Structure 1
Amino acid sequence: MKKLQISLKPGGRIYVNGAVLKVDRKVSIEFLNDVTFLLEHHVLQPGDTHTPLRQLYFIIQTVLIDPANSEDARSMFHSAHAALLASFKNSTIINGLVEVGDAFERGRPFDALKILRPLFVIEDEIIAQGMRPERTEIQHECEAR
């Protein structure tokens, strides 16, 4: 693996292998081995999960942030992913969801997030045009909680 260097601003957070690190000053961190991490600006808060694709992103993010307790999130991913594949008609989103599923199944949830993020724009356009996908199983689960 190549060395990977990350710079954080004061007050910045990074999620590393399930741990949340917050820095009090500008700092650079160099990862010398394989590590799973998310930068704070890639983390969706629960209130930001107002669309089906963002809800799927949140589920995958949960697997990364809390790997010790990820079984429930993995199960939710499989249900939500199948429901979304059946709900969307846009070929770009469907192809993206297939790639997301492949990456997730290969144990590459971070790659799944990278594939999913650009699809938000297309989903937002679909919603703006009033062609909202049918309510998905994941939306029903979230509302029930």
Structure 2
Amino acid sequence: MATLRISLRPGERIFVNGAVLKVDRKTTLEFLNDVTFLLESHVMQADEATTPLRQLYFVIQMMIMDPNDSDAARQLFLSSRSLMLKTYRNRDIIDGLTEASELVERNRCFEALKRVRSLIPLEDESLGRTADAFPPPQSGRTELRLAAGGAR
């Protein structure tokens, strides 16, 4: 397995296997084995979960942040996803929900989170929303770090 290095800025938090870590200075973490993590810039607050897909994102996020107690969140994901598949007409959203569901079933929650996140702009468009309350990360640096191994 390849080593995964993540650089954090002062004051930045990272959620690792259910634990929250905050660094006080620029730090590089090196993961030598499989790990599930979520960077603070990808964490959605409960009050930002204002649409069905954002709520689904929030549920998957809870599975990542508390992996030892994710059964209730997993059940909520399954029931929410089923309702959404019956509601949405946009083929891209339906296909994305199906992919996200398959990822969750394979316990690849980080990839499912990214897939649902990619659907949020489509949902905003279908709802006639112009401003995204949960924008993508501002720096390419974060995206590169996540693409290198993200979770697990």
Q: Under TM normalisation by the shorter chain, which class is it?
A: 0.7 to 0.9
- The one-letter code sitting in structure 2 at the alignment partner of 1:96 is G
Gaps of 5+ in 1: 130-145
| TM-score where L is the length of structure 1 | 0.87
Paired position in structure 1 for 2:123: 123
CA distance in structure 2 between the aligned counterparts of 1:6 and 1:51, rounded to whole angstroms: 31
Deviations 1:71-104 (A, max 9, x none): 1111101100101111100000000000000000
**What number of residue pairs does the alignment pair up?**
129
- The one-letter code sitting in structure 2 at the alignment partner of 1:53 is L
CA distance in structure 2 between the aligned counterparts of 1:100 and 1:69, rounded to whole angstroms: 20
Cα deviation for residue 27 of structure 1 reads: 0.5
Gaps of 5+ in 2: 130-152
Paired position in structure 1 for 2:67: 67
1:78 correspondence with 2:78: yes
| TM-score where L is the length of structure 2 | 0.83
CA distance in structure 2 between the aligned counterparts of 1:119 and 1:78, rounded to whole angstroms: 17
Cα deviation for residue 70 of structure 1 reads: 1.1
After superposition, where does 1:1-145 map in structure 2 within 5 Å?
A: 1-128=1-128
After superposition, the CA RMSD in angstroms is 0.9
Moved over 4 A (4+): none
